[in-house]
Chains A and B, each alone.
Chain A
Amino acid sequence: MTVLTEPFHYAFMQRAFVAALAVGLLCSTMGTYVILRKLSFIGDGIAHASFAGIVIAYLRGANFYIGAGVVAVFTAVGIGFVHRRGRISLDTTIGVLFTGMFALGVFLMSQQRSYAVDLQSFLFGDILSVQPQDLWLILALSVVVAAAVVVLFRGLLYTTFDPIVAQASGIAAPAYEYTLLVMLALTIVVALQAVGIVLVAALLVTPAAAAYQLTSRFAPMMALAALLGAVSTVGGLYLSYYVRASSGATIVLLATLLFFGAIGVKYLRRVSVRVP
């Protein structure tokens, strides 16, 4: 029995589990909007662009989260603006801007003589190194985003399904879109330390995509996505302790397994419906 509870004995593991739970719930809840509004490329883009902010913050001795947060929010609002104006293709904008921002981050980092291990950890995630102050920030941002989801629930739902009719009825669709993008940016910043830039997109997409296979209404999809996200992050972290593998990679692999499991369940359901 003690073997199974062993991971929970260490303070750094306890912090990691709390952080994993928060990140799992948050990313997959936001993932519901990412899937339904087709924002996955945007999420990936924001995560990559944040890298430049992280490096600049690091070089100036500022907090990682502040650097990533400022860049992430500005990029998200910039995307929203380009998307609304619609003169340049959104795909093109994201593709050009974000690879550029990412390259700027790598460029600045490579100029440093003392090669920074901490920056590496932001690429691939290092949830085991979450400090108490990081944990508080993660929890605070999680509460802010979760509160926004609750308060703006109806407006976000309507503008996700049918933004034009929602706007005609007097709901400020553009304001909801910008707010959602800022919430997405904050979520990505929170998730960065847990699973890293490379894998954050997976956590934003995979649990919600799995939930999408199994549900036919919005609120149940969001609830199931949150559950699958939390199982992925907490379960993945737990497994990674025993298999001595990268926690970020284990989390994403578990989420991917759950996704294929969901497809399997959907298929079995169809078969069982067909056979009388």
Chain B
Amino acid sequence: MHADKNKDAVVARDLVVRYEDFTALVGATLRVHYGEALGIVGPNGSGKSTLLKTIAGLLLPSSGELRVLGSQPRKLPPGTIAYVPQVEAVDWSFPATVWDVVSMGRFARLRFWQPFGEHDRHMVRHALELVNMTALAGRHIARLSGGQQQRAFVARAIAQEPQLLLLDEPTTGVDAATEEALRQIVRELVGNGLPVLMATHDLDRVDEWFDRLLVLDRRVLALGTPREVVESGAYSAIREHTHTHGHLRHDHEPHAAHAAHPEIKT
């Protein structure tokens, strides 16, 4: 399906991303291989979404180097990158059914004159099956639960047949069963050679989700296998300062982990 696993799908070197007068990402350097799931963890405002949006070509880095599938993100052919944002970003009263939303994943692949054909319908059905939403295809999107909405978004990304998948906290606000289903889908896609980057607040079971882990707090604090990252201490520093919603804790005294990571402010 994709090029060999040792090749880099994403290469970022000293990536700096600024909003007006705020620097969201300070000199991030990372590589993601084909057939690899990279988890991005860090507190709120640590630049997880910024990193994903920059790789998706939605934001332009103010300096540094970024190559996605051997090119600049905006110069890739339509349909190459699939991005799944956090759920609340769209108008759920929009007149569309689950089928309509998942169909949109095909739009980037179709030229103006090309009709929505049998292969397109096949991919939509396939994606709906994968996320177990076939029975809900005709349902209006406003009548879905949070977990179902998230699965519809993921189905749209799969229907696109992307060569790079970016997921922004897809497990936030979904039930345990949906989370496990999403994990299995991600592992299956990765097994087929797809590179996947996923931001998450969920610090449990990272070793079951990801091949490697990136600890981010506007700069890269650690990057390696989940085991390596845990052993480096950066992960526990983040974990220590992050309660379940990802906010930094302010309710305790500084301790040894602070000295090791002065960039984490309490």
Give A contacts to B, CB under 8 Å: 36, 151-152, 154-155, 157-158, 160-162, 164-171, 212, 215-218, 220-221
Contact = CB atoms under 8 A, between A and B. Distances in A.
Given A36-B94, A152-B112, A221-B95, A166 B107 contact: yes
B80 interface: yes
Nearest 6 CB-CB pairings of A with B: A170-B78, A168-B83, A168-B56, A169-B108, A154-B107, A216-B140
B176 interface: no
A270 to B, nearest CB: 14
A166 B89 CA distance: 13
Which of B53, B89, B95: most chain A CB closer than 10 A? B95
A215 B89 CA distance: 22
A212 B112 contact: no
A170 B80 contact: yes
A217 B83 contact: no
A170 B81 contact: yes
Contacts of A170: 76-81, 108
Interface residues of B, number: 35
A216 B83 contact: no
Interface string B75-101: 011111111110001110011110011
Contact of A171 (B78, B89, B140): B78
A155 B56 contact: no
B150 interface: no
B45 interface: no
A53 B108 CA distance: 38
Which of A165, A215, A218: most chain B CB closer than 10 A? A165
B16 interface: no
Which of A164, A168, A216: most chain B CB closer than 10 A? A168
Contacts of A151: 112
Contact of A212 (B81, B95, B96, B107): B95
Interface in B95-115: 95-97, 100-101, 104-105, 107-108, 110, 112
B160 interface: yes
Contact of A155 (B79, B95, B107): B107
B78 A162 contact: no
29 contacts: A36-B94, A36-B95, A151-B112, A154-B104, A154-B110, A157-B107, A158-B107, A161-B104, A162-B104, A164-B89, A165-B156, A166-B107, A166-B108, A168-B57, A169-B81, A169-B82, A169-B83, A169-B105, A169-B108, A169-B160, A170-B77, A170-B108, A171-B108, A216-B95, A216-B96, A216-B140, A218-B95, A218-B96, A218-B100
Given A169-B83, A170-B77, A170-B81, A217 B104 contact: no
B30 interface: no
Given A151-B112, A169-B83, A170-B79, A161 B94 contact: yes
B209 to A, nearest CB: 22
B82 A168 contact: yes
A144 to B, nearest CB: 16
A169 B81 CA distance: 5
